[in-house]
Amino acid sequence: MLHLNRLFKTGTVLFCTAALFACSNVPQSEIEYKKSRSLPSLEIPPDLITPAIDENTRVPALLDTRVTKVNSDIEIRVERDGSLRWLVITSEAPPLAQRLRDFWKDNGFDVLETDPRLDIVDTSWEENRGVTSKNGLGNFFRKAFDVFYSSSTRDQFRTRLEPGILPGTTEIYLSHRGMEQVLKNDSPQWQPRPSDPALEAEMLKRLALYLGTSDNKADAISEDLTRTTAARANITQDAQGLSLLIVSEDYPNTWRRTGLALDHLGATIEDRNRTLDQKVGNYQFRLKDLSDAGAQPKGWFSKLFSGSKDKNLYFELRLLDQGKETHMTVFDQAGNRDNSPSAQRLLTLLQEQLK
């Protein structure tokens, strides 16, 4: 018995020594996504607009700074507008859609089912395991006892393909949405956190490298993310007294930024049509009812993620080119102008995104 006690004490000392040694060698900052495990039912605030969270238990590969390039002879360039970055590819959309799915899977995400006509790739919600603890001890125990560890943040990404302005080109847009777990009345709840432009730039850079661009071109994606522009979106009323969103920007740029704004809002896109020749376009999508954003309905978590379209409202957002301006109006499913509280709330959210 005495021998066993000594052996136990010796093992404990060795373990602690190894722990302290490992703590001094764990990187302090990294992006490392792993599959989110099932969590207890949590209350979600009504202003969180999101498709269903996929909480399967598969553990995908770790995401680190190493990027595997796909052999390709396509040409890739980076375009920018203020802090907005996107890729322009000399390739048609169909083969690119599969490459986007492969990219996300290689980087630790599941790909959610989407309508293949829309060329939209949504990822599962995942936890970034590399930024949840800044001290070496926390990182060590996270790595050593991973099965017991879960971070308090989740990230989801969307990549969207659009026909380019020039024939034979495709534009790729990447957006990020975040959630964080907070304590409210001694109860853990999920709430949305702002989209992270730096994280979007980092993932877009990795995607560009994956598709085969050069390191120099990829590095340009994350440069000058703080560039700002003057306010360029304003809500007014038209001659009929209906709400109208006016964006002081040409139609192609407004279309581009509107798509990213809807991505950030978590819109479920059902159809879209951009007709550059006629200078008009529309997005058809669903969002949760925006008129009761201050309410706290019972059982919100189960209702939000039930997958029922009845819980969401249909909107058609129309964009009309007016030269140096673009006018945006909301229509209902019957094709009539929608001036409901939800429609007005939608225009307000878009104005906040587009200003």
Backbone angles phi, psi at 172, to 5 degrees: -115, 125
In order along its 355 residues, the chain shows pLDDT tens digits of 545 455 545 555 454 444 444 443 433 345 667 554 444 433 444 444 443 334 333 333 333 333 444 444 578 888 887 668 899 998 777 788 889 999 999 999 999 987 888 899 999 999 876 544 444 444 444 444 444 445 688 999 999 999 888 888 999 999 999 998 888 888 888 888 888 988 998 999 999 999 988 888 777 776 655 555 566 899 999 999 999 999 999 998 899 999 999 999 989 999 999 876 678 899 999 987 655 433 333 333 333 333 444 468 999 999 999 999 999 999 999 999 999 999 999 999 999 989 8
pLDDT value of position 329: 97
Give per-residue pLDDT as tens, 180-203. 888 888 888 888 888 898 899 899
Closest CA to 78 of 221, 188, 207, 198: 221
Report the amino acid identity of residue 314. Answer: Y
pLDDT value of position 81: 78
Closest CA to 90 of 218, 212, 200: 212
Structure tokens at 193: 């956190």
Neighbours of 226 (CB within 10 A): 8
SS3 call for 111: strand
CATH number of the structural domain 229-355 = 3.30.310.170
Neighbours of 303 (CB within 10 A): 13
Give per-residue pLDDT as tens, 96-112. 888 999 999 999 999 99
pTM for this entry: 0.66
Domain boundaries, the chain: 26-228, 229-355
CA–CA separation, 269 vs 271, rounded Å? 6
pLDDT value of position 335: 94
